[in-house]
A and B are shown apart, each in its own frame.
Chain A
Amino acid sequence: MPFLNWLKRRLVVIAGLLTLAYLLLPNIIVTVFSFNKPKGRFNYEWQRFSADAWKDPCGVADMCGSLSLSLQIAVWATVGATVLGTMISFALVRYRFRARGAVNSLIFLPMAMPEVVMAASLLTLFLNMGAQLGFWTILIAHIMFCLSFVVTAVKARVMSMDPRLEEAARDLYAGPVQTFLRVTLPIAAPGIAAGALLSFALSFDDFIITNFNAGSTVTFPMFVWGSAQRGTPVQINVIGTAMFLLAVLFVLFAMVLGNRRNKQKA
């Protein structure tokens, strides 16, 4: 049975590729249906080809406004969480101090907590304080749950860094500030970038926590949620497809750039 043998040897590969297909199928559907011209309010059934939505991506009321709001929140949440998280990571890796265990738990817990619990309790706090729900409450919440992920990413990178590198810098006439700027920060940069990228993706895509703490403000995920009840415009798929393509292109570009650099240097 040569065919059975062939199958046996490639079982893992086949199973893995099937999983990959399962992961990508919705994205393919999203892309295909961005060229649909649906009959009713909902874009779930294929009718006929049309590029109308691509020609007028902002043709739906309020959608692009919510998109730009989501982008703004994601940028500021990324900046906030990355700065605070990086500081915590350095403290954790490079210093000894009391209450280390407590700090570690406080960082671990938000990741081990269902979003709906954090969302509900944060809303309780805001209601008790009489805070005005909106941009600021969303931003506060996003920084809060992104923080732990930044710490995890940066910590791993700083931990794997040879402490002798910083000693070497100090030995070579770099003061504390120079050592940090010229050696520590550039070497920790990939970890910080990974944390920032993760923050951006988490914040931009967050629905559950935002839904609780947004008041009447509408972010892009909330717009999509609302449209699932009222009717899904094709433009949602256009935005989804464009984001997917941009992400893939961005990563491919970064990789090609990295490869070429390595080849030049070699």
Chain B
Amino acid sequence: MKTTPDNSGDVRLSGISKTYGSFTAVHPLDLTVPEGSFFALLGASGCGKTTTLRMIAGLEEPTTGTVRLGDQDVTHLPPYKRPVNTVFQSYALFPHLDIFENVAFGLRRRGIKSVKKQVEEMLELVQLGEQARKKPHQLSGGQQQRVAVARALINHPRVLLLDEPLGALDLKLRRQMQLELKRIQTEVGITFVHVTHDQEEAMTMADTVAVMNGGRVEQLGAPADLYENPRTTFVANFLGTSNLIEAEVGTRSGDDIVLKAGDGKLVLPGARCTAPTTAGGKVLVGIRPEKISLTHADDAGEIPAGRNRLTGKIADASFIGVSTQYVIDSPVCAGLSVYVQNVERDGRLVPGADVVLHWSPAHTFALDAAQAIDAGTEEEVAA
């Protein structure tokens, strides 16, 4: 179903920015979306992700910079002259047209006379063949969403833009539609650029995720890479949860760096530190909650040597089935999160118990301490 014979179908944004009066929605930004990939722009509301998408669609004109599709400069083309289609937030289905006419809209505007076969095929693809003559308001949210996808895809765009396409659906349907969209993308092989504020959605669906914050791209990479190797506190906190502990840089031993946190010392691989490591400088040590093991203080002797360890007291424990989530106050850092799989539960791990937290140094990462430690957490985003 690919419409471009050559392989130069990449979307290239070079130096594009957008300002409204004195407010900068998007800072100058370079981004390349490879052809055929599923690309996600992830960020909280107001971070500039939708503006970036609208500039690709042609609905906003960039203040500076260029938008290229393959080798064609489309920066100043109006949206109706771009080989790009959008699935809008809350779908924007035409309420006065039935499903068939909604899907046929783009074809008819391009002067294509016999649309029946194509529309029917497209409705089959999204499993809505039966609903062709209904009006949008007669369909459920999930069905409307599929109409929006069909209406855009039937035009064989070079790039399909999705603006929070699943935002209006409930959780269960959202999971189902994530898989559905992924299936459609694999089937048609068109480049998808997907805007979302839901980090799970971005990680489930996309090959590449760009995390945006304050009008800039904070980090770009494959979902697993972003999760394991965040380079800023924003990414560390926005994608999942991170425990960030302030520490002082000590000595280097081989490839490893030894850090001082409170009285204890922590080790991490030098390659996993993005911060400057002059001795005596500050860094933020990061560790994901599920990487930490908990051992009751009485059994501290059984912990294998060579692991990073911290002592603490359980402040709170919530049982959520698959795992138990603990909040632990440690002398070096209060409110650490630890997720423990419920394989063999230790009955002594209740609030008030003294515990030792320990993990493999390889799972540790370190970030520049000159950033706000709570960037990207829910509290910070809400404020």
**Physical contact A–B (CB less than 8 Å):** yes
Contact A171-B57, Cβ < 8 Å, known A162-B92, A186-B96: yes
Q: Which residues of B contact A3 (CB under 8 A)?
A: none
Question: Among B59, B81, B95, B105, which residue has the most Cβ atoms of chain A within 10 A?
Answer: B105
Measured CB to CB, the residues of B under 8 A from A are 57-59, 78-81, 84-86, 88-90, 92-96, 98, 105-106, 109-110, 133-135, 138, 151-152, 155
Nearest CB to that of A167 among chain B residues? B59
**In the bound complex, do residue A265 and residue B134 qualify as a contact, i.e. CB atoms below 8 Å apart?**
yes
**In the bound complex, do residue B109 and residue A174 qualify as a contact, i.e. CB atoms below 8 Å apart?**
yes
CA–CA, A183 to B80, complex, Å? 14
CA–CA, A165 to B138, complex, Å? 18
Nearest CB to that of A174 among chain B residues? B109
B80 contacts which of A174, A186, A266 (Cβ < 8 Å)? Answer: A174
Q: Which residues of B contact A265 (CB under 8 A)?
A: 98, 133-135, 138
Known: A164-B89, A172-B105, A175-B80. 15 other contacts (CB 8 A): A162-B90, A162-B92, A164-B92, A165-B94, A168-B92, A168-B93, A170-B59, A170-B80, A171-B88, A172-B155, A173-B80, A175-B78, A187-B94, A189-B96, A266-B134
9 pairs across A/B with beta carbons < 8 Å? A167-B79, A167-B88, A168-B88, A171-B59, A171-B85, A172-B80, A172-B151, A174-B80, A187-B95
Q: Which of A129-171 contact B (CB under 8 A)?
A: 162, 164-165, 167-171
Q: Does A178 contact B (CB under 8 A)?
A: yes
Interface string of A12-33 (1 = CB under 8 A from B): 0000000000000000000000
**In the bound complex, do residue A173 and residue B109 qualify as a contact, i.e. CB atoms below 8 Å apart?**
yes
Closest 6 CB pairs of A and B: A172-B106, A164-B92, A173-B109, A168-B92, A170-B79, A186-B96
Q: Which residues of A contact B106 (CB under 8 A)?
A: 172-173
**In the bound complex, do residue A168 and residue B86 qualify as a contact, i.e. CB atoms below 8 Å apart?**
yes
Minimum Cβ distance to chain A for residue B114 (Å) = 17
Nearest CB to that of B79 among chain A residues? A170
Q: Which residues of A contact B85 (CB under 8 A)?
A: 171-172
Q: Which residues of B contact A170 (CB under 8 A)?
A: 58-59, 78-80
**In the bound complex, do residue B92 and residue A167 qualify as a contact, i.e. CB atoms below 8 Å apart?**
yes
Q: Which residues of A contact B92 (CB under 8 A)?
A: 162, 164-165, 167-168
Q: Which residues of B contact A186 (CB under 8 A)?
A: 96
Contact A171-B96, Cβ < 8 Å, known A164-B89, A265-B134, A266-B138: no
**In the bound complex, do residue A178 and residue B109 qualify as a contact, i.e. CB atoms below 8 Å apart?**
yes
**In the bound complex, do residue B90 and residue A183 qualify as a contact, i.e. CB atoms below 8 Å apart?**
no
Nearest CB to that of B98 among chain A residues? A265
Q: Once A and B bind, how many residue pairs between them come within 8 Å at the CB atom?
A: 73
Q: Which residues of B contact A174 (CB under 8 A)?
A: 80, 105, 109
**In the bound complex, do residue B90 and residue A173 qualify as a contact, i.e. CB atoms below 8 Å apart?**
no
Q: Which residues of B contact A183 (CB under 8 A)?
A: 94
CA–CA, A174 to B135, complex, Å? 21
Question: Among A169, A171, A187, which residue has the most Cβ atoms of chain B within 10 A?
Answer: A171
Question: Among B81, B109, B138, B155, which residue has the most Cβ atoms of chain A within 10 A?
Answer: B109
Minimum Cβ distance to chain A for residue B191 (Å) = 16
**In the bound complex, do residue A169 and residue B105 qualify as a contact, i.e. CB atoms below 8 Å apart?**
yes
CA–CA, A176 to B219, complex, Å? 38
Q: Which of A200-231 contact B (CB under 8 A)?
A: none
Q: Which residues of A contact B84 (CB under 8 A)?
A: 171
CA–CA, A266 to B106, complex, Å? 25
Q: Which residues of B contact A164 (CB under 8 A)?
A: 88-90, 92
Nearest CB to that of A166 among chain B residues? B92
CA–CA, A189 to B95, complex, Å? 12
Q: Which residues of A contact B98 (CB under 8 A)?
A: 265
Minimum Cβ distance to chain B for residue A218 (Å) = 43
Minimum Cβ distance to chain A for residue B159 (Å) = 12
Minimum Cβ distance to chain B for residue A96 (Å) = 12
Q: Which residues of A contact B86 (CB under 8 A)?
A: 167-168, 171
Q: Which residues of B contact A172 (CB under 8 A)?
A: 80, 85, 105-106, 109, 151-152, 155
Nearest CB to that of B59 among chain A residues? A167
Nearest CB to that of A162 among chain B residues? B92
B155 contacts which of A165, A173, A182, A187 (Cβ < 8 Å)? Answer: A173
CA–CA, A170 to B78, complex, Å? 8
B79 contacts which of A165, A171, A182, A266 (Cβ < 8 Å)? Answer: A171
Minimum Cβ distance to chain B for residue A179 (Å) = 8
CA–CA, A3 to B224, complex, Å? 74
Minimum Cβ distance to chain B for residue A163 (Å) = 9
Q: Which residues of A contact B105 (CB under 8 A)?
A: 169, 172, 174, 182
Q: Which of A84-102 contact B (CB under 8 A)?
A: none
Q: Which residues of B contact A179 (CB under 8 A)?
A: 80
Nearest CB to that of A185 among chain B residues? B96
Nearest CB to that of A178 among chain B residues? B109
Q: Which residues of A contact B88 (CB under 8 A)?
A: 164, 167-168, 171
Q: Which residues of B contact A169 (CB under 8 A)?
A: 94, 105
CA–CA, A189 to B94, complex, Å? 14
CA–CA, A9 to B134, complex, Å? 42
Nearest CB to that of A187 among chain B residues? B96
B110 contacts which of A167, A168, A173 (Cβ < 8 Å)? Answer: A173
CA–CA, A179 to B57, complex, Å? 16
CA–CA, A165 to B151, complex, Å? 13
CA–CA, A172 to B157, complex, Å? 10
Q: Which residues of B contact A187 (CB under 8 A)?
A: 94-96
Nearest CB to that of B106 among chain A residues? A172
CA–CA, A146 to B79, complex, Å? 38
